[in-house]
């Protein structure tokens, strides 16, 4: 990708849940295209290591540890970034978690935790950042959805519910904020090799099922999500709004 459509020079991106996995890969990818990145997580040690690693590669990277499910912490962190680092031009709501159990036995406290982590966080951070973007008349918000925004598997019904909510929250953000110059979209990864999925990666039976079920015949690599994030973060997506881009090796296209 070349040219101004994908140039992120001078832009600042906040990526939640970015001390590892998909979030860190996306942060590095945006930095490669010129963005200054602000990493977020709750684990300060891991977060520092991630930011130090990016800075060691010559990228402009800061770290901001805060709980994305805490309204006051979110507001304080966004205000601090805007005041001390500069405007947040791009937000990637990536923070998320998984918990697997049969639906009839699913613990209520885990249901609540999944909702707070996967959905409420995107609402809180999105709203806090949008309040700064709207007066400027510009901004990019990318929510990380999933193939589970469209599909279901046994044992993860609550996770599926949260990712379906993210898809429609993205539509709602676009509907409310497009008139203010914001583009709000989602990326829906298929099955990628990440720490969140490591138990599945290590399960030969599951991997064999995945390879048969996915037309591409393999797990995704986190680096394969970068181009989608750069496109939705850059000038080239100025008329793309409320869209969910599936990056899944064809899984949602096939039965």
Q: Which pLDDT belongs to residue 196? A: 78
Residue 197 confidence (pLDDT): 85
Where in the sequence numbering do the catalytic residues fall? 159
Name 90's bridge partners. Answer: 13, 140
The full length of the chain comes to 255
pLDDT at 195: 82
CA 50 to CA 195: how far, in whole Å? 15
Q: Which residues contact 196 (CB under 8 A, 6 or more apart)?
A: 21, 96, 97, 98
Positions in the chain whose pLDDT score sits under 50 = 1-2
Q: Residue 193's pLDDT is what?
A: 92
Domain residue spans of the chain: 4-247
Options 2.60.120.260, 1.10.1200.10, 3.40.50.720, 1.10.443.10; CATH of 4-247: 3.40.50.720
pLDDT, tens digit (0-9, with 9 covering 90-100), for 18-40: 999 999 999 999 999 999 999 99
Predicted TM-score (pTM) of the model is 0.96
**What letters, b where the CB count within 10 A reaches 16 and e where it falls short, cover 197-231?**
beebbeeeeeeeebeebbeeeebbebeebbebbbb
């Amino acid at each position: 990708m070349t040219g101004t459509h994908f140039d992120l020079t001078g832009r600042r991106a906040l990526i939640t849940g970015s001390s590892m996995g998909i979030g860190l890969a996306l942060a590095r990818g945006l930095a490669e295209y010129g963005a200054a990145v602000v990493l977020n997580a709750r684990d300060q040690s891991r977060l520092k290591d991630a930011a130090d690693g990016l800075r060691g590669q010559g990228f402009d990277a800061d770290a901001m540890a805060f709980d994305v499910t805490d309204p006051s912490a979110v507001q304080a962190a966004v205000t601090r970034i805007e005041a001390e680092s500069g405007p947040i031009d791009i937000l990637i709501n990536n923070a998320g978690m998984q918990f697997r159990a049969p639906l009839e036995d699913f613990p209520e406290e885990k249901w609540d935790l999944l909702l707070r982590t996967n959905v409420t966080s995107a609402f809180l951070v999105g709203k806090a950042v949008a309040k700064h973007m709207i007066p400027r008349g510009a901004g990019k918000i990318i929510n990380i959805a999933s193939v589970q925004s469209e599909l279901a598997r046994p044992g993860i019904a609550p996770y599926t519910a949260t990712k379906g909510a993210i898809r429609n929250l993205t539509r709602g953000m676009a509907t409310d904020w497009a008139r203010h110059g914001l583009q709000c979209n989602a990326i829906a990864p298929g099955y990628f090799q990440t720490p969140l999925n490591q138990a599945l990666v290590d399960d030969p039976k599951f991997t064999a099922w995945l390879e048969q079920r996915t037309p591409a015949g393999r797990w995704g690599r986190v680096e394969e999500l970068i181009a989608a994030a750069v496109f939705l973060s850059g000038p080239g997506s100025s008329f793309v709004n409320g869209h969910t881009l599936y990056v899944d090796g064809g899984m949602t296209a096939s039965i």
